[in-house]
Structure 1
Amino acid sequence: MDASLRRFSIFYFCYYAALGAYTPYVGRWVDALGHGGYVVGGMLGLWYGTRIVAPPAWAALTSRSDKPGNWFVAGCGLTLLCFSAFLFTGSAWALLAVMAVFGLFYNAVMPQFEAMTLTALGPRADLYGRLRVWGSIGFLIVAGTYGALLDRVGAEHFAWVTLPLFVLLLAAAWPHRHDRQVEHAPTAADAGHLWKRPGVRRFLLVALLMQASFGPFYVFYTLHLQAAGHSGATVGGLWALGVLIEIAMFWKAPKLIARFGASRLLMVCLAVTVLRWIVTALYAESLPIMALAQATHALSFATFYACCMRLMADFFPGRRAGAGQSLFFGFSQGVGGVLGAGLAAVAWERSGGELAFLAGAAVAALAWLLYALRRQSVAAAAP
């Protein structure tokens, strides 16, 4: 790898390493502090909610500056400062308040960094994957080991053992303080009339429902497996397995899409996701079955995401791509993430992990039905 680009791969590694601690284990920490499912769900709901407002708000600030690199470093510094506040909070309202501010900065800096990366690559955009894969590696290492670490030190110390990762995040951001101005990042508001393009609304609704079906997984998967008797090390291994398969599948997905078509593969991914959540709900005690369920992450996440990106290229070609991507991520990952976290919290409080994952399966089944009806209407309209 070009030495001038190594600092980009280092930041991706540090950013997603911190995320590898936060996403899988924040629920275990909140549970260890004595809070219930609603607080756990609220923490993740705020995480996804800030994804809707943080990137465009931060883009509006950085676009007015002739030194965006300084804003980027400041954003990472504020992320560290806000996370540090978790060391001194214990009540539910304090946790949620800190989460809201922390999420605003943590979710704001990555879209800016993505733009900085593409600006630095210029005509060498094909190298992006080689830089971004280090983020997946960072997530894999931390998510795969933090379960055992929390077994050893106690889940209540999660904030203390995670803080060094955010220190490294700030250190990795420092070399980018002089990076040059990036173009304005399109927001969902820039998409405007694109919402009315044929097929877009149904596609976005399917993507939203798919993201919502992942709510129980992102919020309660660790707690669900621990309730079934698995150790923290085992849970970490299962998280790592899913990420490993995700990385491998991203390399294979383009060939599969070229052979079978994105629309057809999307149907398969939705169907597999329904089965995945049913199995996770009913057979959590079986490690081999849970490993097999995690292996389906290759379809329910990696291939599904690759198919969405291929369809996005059809819906929003050329200069419309940026606004389309903003619309897609704000609607699916933002709104869908919030709804999924809320659904998971309600189901968990009522009847635990089994009901939560069955609810996720029902949402994924609804997404499959909506997309199947879309394909049938297209076929019926064909001459």
Structure 2
Amino acid sequence: MNQINYSSKNASLRLTGYYASFFAVYGIAIPIWPRWLEGQISLEYVGIVLGVAYWLKVAVVPIASSVADLVGDRRRVLISLSSMVLIGLAILPFVEGWVLYAVVWGLAGAALSTGVPLSDGVTIRLGQLIGVEFGKVRRWGSVSFIVSSLGVGALADKFGLDAIYAMMIFASVLLLIASFWVPKVYTAPDSKKVPLLRPLKLPNFPLFLITVGLLLASHASLYGFSAIYWKSLGYSNTVITLLWIVGVLAEIAMFSVSDRLIGRFGAMPMIIVAAAGGVIRWTLLATVTALPLLVLAQLFHALTFALLYMSIVGYVAKRVPPAISASAQGLQDSLSMGIFFGLLTMLAGSLYEFNPASCFLLMAVCSGLGVVLGAILLIRVRRYEQQQEGS
């Protein structure tokens, strides 16, 4: 039995602190951290170092999530992961050669990424128990991402690359502190069995994984090649940054209202809406070059990411038992942002060399397939639930 010693407001404040700290680190790690790495190792190895963290995540996320289900306390695992990030960062200046950088940052970067599904699991559970609204908490992570990336980028331009490392350490210290502040919610395991793959036995969960994994990974061309593509169209770095900010602002707005949308219409119909938004967005990015239309395409980030993300949360909260929810979140994250994202990034890279616009058309095709899979998922889940009610 769970005994919650927090009010909804207090728990929301604590979780907001974690998300803000986490995405302050992420706001440096994703767009700016490669600039610091380039100053430490040869440029040709920067991609390898970053890639190791990316692929290690495929193993680290589900394993850590499974451990969280076994111990029943996500906070303890979050503290351990945050400690790994800070220790890894502290070690980096004392190592030499790209191989050691790949090992140290590979583990630290994978540990950092694992914080997403675990913290989401805590927030989902507190939403079930005391009414914490996921979207309204999570939106502050997006705000923090913008502030962190813009602020640290400006500091690096003024004070040099060492400012990036210093701010990465500072943000990671805040993340560790925030990890201790995360509400403690104990969820008793169902059994002594390792829960790593148990979510796959849930009705329709494999189809759900493939559907949302494909849709989340459809952002591969955006993350990997949009800045390069827009630069080739003649847009300045300032304009490109503003295009990214438009997308994040749309994301924040959707996080603010998504709880009500999903509560009214359900998670699965919203997955289909998000997929349809992806068809429109990626087709626009592949076919238009005028700035107003690019801004319009970026506004669809509210659907393709924020609404989809919240729909995933809603589906897991309703249809996955709390005792294996961390494992379910870990499987979803490692498949979506690990395996699928990695494969689509490589394929998009090959297409970009052939025709830059074609890599976005590939994402439109993935979203179109997501519409079909989402409709099948909706039909199958509704049919299963009707059978359960009738039995």
TM-score of the two chains, using structure 2 as the length reference = 0.73
Q: 1:237 aligns with which of 224, 235, 242?
A: 242
Give the C-alpha shift of residue 213 in structure 1.
1.2
Q: 2:21 aligns with which of 14, 21, 30?
A: 14
8 Å CA contact retained: 2:69, 2:189: no
8 Å CA contact retained: 1:115, 1:183: no
Secondary structure, aligned partner of 1:141: helix
What are the equivalent positions in structure 2 for 1:261-340 lying under 5 Å apart?
261-283=266-288, 285-317=289-321, 321-340=325-344
Take 1:109 and 1:302, find their aligned partners in 2: how far apart are those partners? 18
Take 1:332 and 1:57, find their aligned partners in 2: how far apart are those partners? 16
Secondary structure, aligned partner of 1:341: helix
Cα displacement string for residues 25-79 of structure 1 (whole angstroms, at most 9, x for unaligned residues)? 456777998857x96487357336415414634874997799x76x765643442
Give the C-alpha shift of residue 291 in structure 1.
1.0
Partner of 1:215: 220
Determine whether 1:165 maps to 2:168: yes
Amino acid at match of 2:20: F
Partner of 1:225: 230
Partner of 1:343: 347
Partner of 1:174: 177
Amino acid at match of 1:139: F
Take 2:176 and 2:316, find their aligned partners in 1: how far apart are those partners? 31
Give the RMSD, CA atoms, in angstroms: 4.6
Secondary structure, aligned partner of 1:24: coil
Take 2:69 and 2:326, find their aligned partners in 1: how far apart are those partners? 17
Partner of 2:373: 370
Answer with 98-107 or 126-135: which moved more: 126-135
Amino acid at match of 1:16: F
Take 2:379 and 2:133, find their aligned partners in 1: how far apart are those partners? 39
Determine whether 1:53 maps to 2:88: no
8 Å CA contact retained: 1:45, 1:342: no
Change (3 A) 1:277 1:24: farther
Take 1:320 and 1:4, find their aligned partners in 2: how far apart are those partners? 22
Partner of 2:4: none
Aligned residue pairs total 375
Determine whether 1:24 maps to 2:27: no
Give the C-alpha shift of residue 208 in structure 1.
1.5
Take 1:181 and 1:378, find their aligned partners in 2: how far apart are those partners? 32
Change (3 A) 1:93 1:214: farther
Answer with 98-107 or 314-323: which moved more: 314-323
Take 2:42 and 2:54, find their aligned partners in 1: how far apart are those partners? 20
Change (3 A) 1:301 1:127: closer
Secondary structure, aligned partner of 2:282: helix
Take 2:233 and 2:48, find their aligned partners in 1: how far apart are those partners? 20
Take 1:294 and 1:372, find their aligned partners in 2: how far apart are those partners? 25
Amino acid at match of 2:225: F
Give the C-alpha shift of residue 196 in structure 1.
3.9
Cα displacement string for residues 294-348 of structure 1 (whole angstroms, at most 9, x for unaligned residues)? 1001111111222233333454256554443343333333332333333334434
Determine whether 1:247 maps to 2:252: yes
Take 2:26 and 2:255, find their aligned partners in 1: how far apart are those partners? 19
What are the equivalent positions in structure 2 for 1:71-110 lying under 5 Å apart?
75-83=81-89, 96-109=102-115
Give the C-alpha shift of residue 273 in structure 1.
0.6
Take 2:304 and 2:130, find their aligned partners in 1: how far apart are those partners? 30
Partner of 1:358: 361
Change (3 A) 1:255 1:131: closer
Take 1:371 and 1:46, find their aligned partners in 2: how far apart are those partners? 30
Amino acid at match of 1:230: Y
Partner of 1:142: 148
Cα displacement string for residues 227-252 of structure 1 (whole angstroms, at most 9, x for unaligned residues)? 33222222222222212211211232
Q: Percent identity?
A: 24
Unaligned runs of 5+ in 2: 1-7
Change (3 A) 1:310 1:87: same
Take 1:197 and 1:177, find their aligned partners in 2: how far apart are those partners? 32
Take 2:37 and 2:18, find their aligned partners in 1: how far apart are those partners? 27
